[in-house]
A and B are shown apart, each in its own frame.
Chain A
């Protein structure tokens, strides 16, 4: 859900850039020699995951998986997803430079919020409970992203309002898909390597 250059007002762009600077500052503080390789490799995995197209009805959607990124990386998800967005803008032409701040807030901030809300649930001993929290986190991240995108557009001008309402509804299936996939991923990780959810805690 990349907004493009030129759509938003200057105030929104500056606001987004300011929040992103703070988020990056906080996230980068959590990175040190020990966990930069982990964060980098996971950031690359999320970049690859965003290339996966999953069938949805007659069409398909590409994944964002920011909720899962938040659950695994915690605050470090902010710089990790920021790097992904920067690379997508530069090499793929998704989004743009002036909206990078806003796009980072819209996608990375929900990841961090999901971390704080769902972390305990995902660490649960009970696999099903953990998976359900994972699914909730995955869906919540997309829901928050959609709301944030809507807010960025609504703050820019009334002319986007009608489109924004439709966009919100159009993304409900995406939320469900992301939720289901994140839940399944959490289930598998619990079975195979539960340590993965300790990465974020270790990153302090």
Chain B
């Protein structure tokens, strides 16, 4: 059964190839998942820009400790949906407050600017810490950690199947795209392009369904009865305790900084 869980190196985590001994990666995955949840909640509840900047630097330190490729990870961190960026740029103009400057008669407010910066800092710190703490894990390990943290079994199974087949289906997608390319297909703004992409997606779904039927049959042959054994056995060790204490210390300091700053205003 274990071959079902054995995920090849996922192209987007590139964990195995760069996996060196790093303190963060050697920690109990459960501790890392819980730490990232608590960090995200703490960061979004902070408001002081200086404190948020400290939080962002802490997240960068986490990233470095996880030995993640810096430029790639930071690019991913900063990539936001176009509409979010647009919304942040608009904020100084849409939020009422003391005018900073005028563009075509529209006043840009300081309040809006500070708010936009605060959101950007929070979003980046939260997402970077998430990628450093959890994203540096094998995706299967992540599923097992969720299982041990009492996430419903059905959801964990669904997640494990999904990560197992993402790579397979990506290859299938590449094959279909290559087949289209060899027939001279080039995406343009044309009805033909949209029709071809629609058929491509339809075909991917058809093949996926047929594949899943074969998978189920194969699994049943091997005695699948709705239960996937979670082979990873996590051990909470002394270093995990140290990490948790250190992490809690950082979070408490961030909150205290925020509170003291609020008092001094």
Query: 4 nearest interchain CB pairs?
Result: A184-B198, A40-B161, A6-B122, A188-B202
In the complex, what's the smallest C-beta–C-beta distance from B122 to chain A, in angstroms? Answer: 3
Contact A93 B45 (CB under 8 A): no
Are A5 and B169 closer than 8 Å at their CB atoms?
A: no
9 contacts between A and B (CB under 8 A): A10-B45, A28-B152, A36-B226, A54-B193, A83-B162, A93-B79, A93-B130, A93-B135, A192-B203
Inter-chain contact A87/B210, CB cutoff 8 Å: no
Q: How far is the CA of A162 from the CA of B43 in the complex (A)?
A: 27
B212 contacts A185, C-beta separation under 8 Å: no
Is there contact, CB below 8 Å, between B118 and A92? no
Interface size on A, residues (CB 8 A): 82
Which residue of A48, A79, A82 has the most chain B CB atoms within 10 A of its CB atom? A48
Q: Which residues of A contact B76 (CB under 8 A)?
A: 92-93
Asked whether any CB of chain B lies closer than 8 Å to the CB of A43, the reply is yes
Give the residue of B121, B134, B164 whose beta carbon is less than 8 angstroms from that of A40: B164
Shortest C-beta distance, B43 to chain A (Å), equals 7
Residues 165-201 (chain A) with a chain B CB within 8 angstroms: 166-167, 170, 177, 180-189, 192-193, 195-196, 199
Give Cα A24–Cα B159 distance, bound, in whole angstroms: 13
Residue B80 CB within 8 A of the other chain: yes
CA distance A65 to B198 in the complex (A): 10
Question: A44–B216 contact, CB under 8 A?
Answer: no
* Residues of B in contact with A (beta carbons under 8 Å apart): 10, 12-13, 36-37, 40-41, 43-45, 73, 76-77, 79-81, 83-84, 86-87, 90-91, 93-96, 112, 115, 118-119, 121-123, 126-128, 130-131, 134-135, 139, 142, 152, 154-155, 157-166, 168-170, 173, 187-189, 193-195, 197-206, 208-213, 215-216, 219, 224-226
State A163–B82 Cα separation when bound (angstroms).
12
Starting from the known contacts A4-B123, A185-B199, 5 additional A-B residue pairs (CB-CB under 8 Å) come to A5-B126, A28-B155, A31-B154, A162-B94, A184-B198
Across-interface contacts of A196 in B (CB, < 8 A): 205-206, 209
Residues of A within 8 A of B128 (CB): 93
Across the interface, A3 reaches (CB within 8 A) one of B12, B84, B160, B206, namely: B84
* Majority-rule SS of A interface residues: helix
Instruction: Give the complex CA separation of A186 and B201 in angstroms.
Output: 9
* Contact assessment for A188 and B40 in the assembled complex, using a CB-CB cutoff below 8 Å: no
> Chain A contacts of B121 at CB under 8 A?
6
What B residues does A170 contact at CB under 8 A?
83
Answer yes or no: A47 CB below 8 A from chain B CBs. yes
Main secondary structure of the interface of B (DSSP, over half): helix
Give bound CA distance, A160 to B112, whole Å: 10
- Tell me the minimal C-beta distance from B119 to chain A in angstroms: 5
Query: In the complex, what's the smallest C-beta–C-beta distance from B235 to chain A, in angstroms?
Result: 23
Is the pair B90, A4 in contact by a Cβ cutoff of 8 Å?
no
A37–B212 contact, CB under 8 A?
yes
Contact of A181 among B81, B173, B198, B225 (CB under 8 A): B198
Restricting to A26-53, which residues have a CB under 8 Å from any CB of B?
28, 31-34, 36-45, 47-49, 51-52
CB distance from A157 to the nearest CB of B (A): 8
B43 near A68 with CB under 8 A, answer: no
Say yes or no: B205 contacts A93, CB within 8 Å.
Answer: no
Partner of A1, one of B45, B83, B122, B205: B83
Assess A186 versus B202: contact at CB under 8 Å? Given A7-B84, A181-B197: yes
Q: Is the CB of A42 within 8 A of B201?
A: no
CB neighbours (8 Å) of B73 from chain A are: 93
Partner of B139, one of A42, A91, A181, A188: A91
CB-CB contacts below 8 Å: A78-126 with B = 79-80, 82-84, 86-87, 89-98
Question: Residue of A at shortest CB range from B89?
Answer: A163
Q: How far is the CA of A90 from the CA of B141 in the complex (A)?
A: 13
Q: Please, which residues of chain A bring their CB within 8 A of the CB of B163?
A: 44, 87
Q: Which residue of A32, A44, A90 contacts B226 across the interface (Cβ within 8 Å)?
A: A32
* A78 vs chain B, min Cβ distance (A): 11
